[in-house]
């Protein structure tokens, strides 16, 4: 019984070794070839560098940049990508785009529909870096394809945002894969002002994550024209929306009336107190000083810390802190005041 079993097993074992060894040989040969390829590409890059730089700056010498062999094309692709990252100026970007649209298009299109995810993603990055609007139809085809993954969708939508594509808005509302807040932020971040203005009135219909992301981005992009709008959102029933609106106001230094500030400084929600303190500090709302002083005894650590930090920015703020540090009954408040007096006004943020 055992005799044939072991024979089979032996055969299996030997074939395993043969498979692994041949795979190994293949990989070693491939590696040697790849290393050689890389060496050549790097050599081409060095020899093309000056010409590319001249072309980008002065617009001359396009004819010298040959894309005939795949290696040369790869070298140029990499050079252009590196330059697109280094040089921000508009006319250079325009030349990069023009060159990419004429010379790289077929290659990038092929990559865009490659069966491997990594290659498709690279193609999307190239399209973004080179601003190749000419490929919008290909992008659309990829979006419709069944193999589209979540990360590709986000990258695609981001390109739509950069290109001001009108389809973006409906796709944000009904994406193929549920979008995270991070994805929404990314999209709002790259959307231009007109698009933003055009869609904001439909805020109420958005999914909550999209609403949160919008509020954050208003703060981050410092779009003070939406300040009044944020102020209306402070009446919202959603805690999260109120907290985020306060946070955005703090980030952009929106002047909220001190009545409203005081209302939030005494909110039962500690996050609202915290964010209201941040607003006070940012806009130096001296009227709120007594409230800030009492918040130095707040039960929440970060509220106490933030209150001390905000007081430092006020008129005579350090005077107030010194008083608390020496004579307050609450030991927590004393410690906090001491720490911030010592730290002084650090980077405010």
Partner 1 sequence: MGIDIWYTFVSVVGWFVFLFMVAVIAFYTFLLLVSLVQLRKSYQLDEWEPYEELLDVSYAKPLSILVPAYNESAGIFGTVRSLLSIEYPEYEIIVINDGSTDDTLAKLIESFQLVRINHVIRQQLKTKRVKAVYRSKLYRHLFVIDKENGGKADALNAGINVSRYPYFCSIDGDSVLERSAFLKVMKPIIDSDGEVIASGGSIRIANGCEIESGEIVKVGLSRHPLVVMQVIEYLRAFLMGRIGLSRHNLLLIVSGAFGVFSKRWVIEAGGYAHTVGEDMELVVRLHRLIKERKESKKIVYVPDPVCWTEAPESLKYLRRQRSRWHRGLLESLWIHRRLIFNPKYGSIGLVSMPYFLFIEFFGPVVELLGYVVMLVSLFFGGVYIEFAILLFLLSVIYGSVFSMAAVLLEEWTVRKFPNVSDIVRLFLFSLTESLWYRPLTVWWRCEGIVDVLRKKRGWGEMTRKGVSK
Contact residues for partner 1, defined by CB under 8 A: 2-3, 5-6, 9-10, 13, 16-17, 20, 23-24, 27-28, 31-32, 35, 116-119, 121-122, 125, 129, 180-182, 185-186, 189, 209, 216-217, 220, 301, 305, 335-336, 338-339, 342-343, 346-347
**Angle, helices 136-144/150-162, rounded to nearest 10 degrees:** 150
Classify 120 as helix, strand or coil. helix
Residues with Cβ within 8 Å of 96's Cβ and at least 6 positions away in sequence, in order, are 56, 80, 83, 84, 130, 131
Query: What separation, in Å, do the N-terminal and C-terminal C-alpha atoms of the chain show?
Result: 78
Cβ of residue 53: shortest distance to partner 1, in angstroms? 21
Q: In the complex, what is the shortest distance from the CB of residue 185 to partner 1, in angstroms, rounded to a whole number?
A: 7
Least separation in angstroms between residue 262's CB and partner 1 is 26
Give the residue with the Cβ less far from partner 1, 63 or 349: 349
> CB of residue 158 vs partner 1: minimum separation in angstroms?
8
Report in angstroms how near the CB of residue 92 gets to partner 1 at its nearest: 19
Q: Where are the alpha helices (DSSP H) in 100-226?
A: 105-112, 117-130, 136-144, 150-162, 168-173, 181-190, 193-199, 208-220
Beta strands in the chain (DSSP E): none
Q: Is the CB of 124 or the CB of 233 nearer to partner 1?
A: 124
CA 33 – CA 194 distance, rounded (Å):
51
Which CB, 55 or 254, lies closer to partner 1? Answer: 254
CB of 343 to partner 1, least distance (A): 7
The nearer residue to partner 1, 16 or 269, going by C-beta atoms, is 16
Q: Could you identify the residue written with the tokens 């298009």?
A: 105
Nearer to partner 1 among residue 120 and residue 261 (C-beta): 120
Query: For residues 62 and 82, which CB has a smaller minimum distance to partner 1 in the complex?
Result: 82
87 HSE (CA, 13 A, CB side): 21
CB of 30 to partner 1, least distance (A): 9
Half-sphere exposure in the Cβ direction for 148 (13 Å, CA): 20
Report whether 288 contacts 262 (CB < 8 A). Answer: yes
- The residue (of 216 and 272) whose beta carbon lies closer to partner 1 is 216
């Amino acid at each position: 019984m055992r005799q044939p079993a072991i024979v089979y097993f032996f055969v299996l074992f030997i074939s395993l070794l043969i498979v692994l060894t041949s795979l190994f040989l293949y990989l070693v040969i491939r590696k040697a070839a790849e290393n050689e390829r890389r060496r050549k590409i790097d050599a081409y890059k060095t020899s093309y560098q000056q010409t590319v730089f001249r072309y980008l700056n002065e617009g001359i010498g396009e004819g010298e940049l040959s894309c005939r062999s795949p290696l040369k094309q790869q070298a140029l692709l990499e050079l252009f990508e590196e330059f697109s990252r280094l040089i921000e100026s508009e006319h250079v970007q325009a030349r990069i785009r023009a060159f990419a649209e004429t010379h790289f298009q077929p290659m990038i299109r092929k990559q865009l529909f490659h069966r491997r995810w990594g290659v498709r993603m690279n193609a999307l990055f190239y399209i973004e870096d080179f601003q190749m609007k000419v490929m919008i139809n290909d992008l659309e085809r990829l979006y419709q394809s069944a193999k589209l993954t979540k990360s590709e969708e986000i990258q695609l939508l981001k390109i739509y945002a950069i290109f001001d594509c009108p389809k973006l808005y409906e796709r944000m509302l009904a994406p193929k894969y549920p979008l995270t807040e991070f994805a929404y932020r990314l999209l709002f971040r790259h959307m231009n002002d007109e698009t933003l203005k055009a869609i904001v009135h439909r805020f109420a219909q958005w999914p909550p994550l999209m609403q949160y992301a919008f509020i954050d981005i208003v703060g981050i992009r410092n779009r003070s024209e939406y300040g009044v709008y944020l102020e209306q959102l402070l009446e919202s029933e959603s805690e999260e929306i109120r907290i985020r609106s306060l946070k955005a106001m703090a980030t952009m230094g929106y002047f909220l009336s001190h009545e409203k500030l005081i209302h939030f400084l005494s909110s039962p929600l500690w996050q609202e107190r915290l964010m209201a303190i941040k607003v006070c500090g940012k806009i130096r709302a001296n009227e709120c000083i007594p409230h800030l002083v009492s918040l130095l005894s707040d039960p929440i650590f970060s509220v106490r810390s933030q209150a001390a930090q905000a007081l430092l920015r006020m008129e005579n703020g350090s005077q107030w802190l010194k008083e608390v540090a020496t004579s307050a009954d609450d030991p927590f408040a004393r410690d906090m005041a001491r720490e911030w007096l010592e730290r002084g006004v650090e980077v405010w943020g």
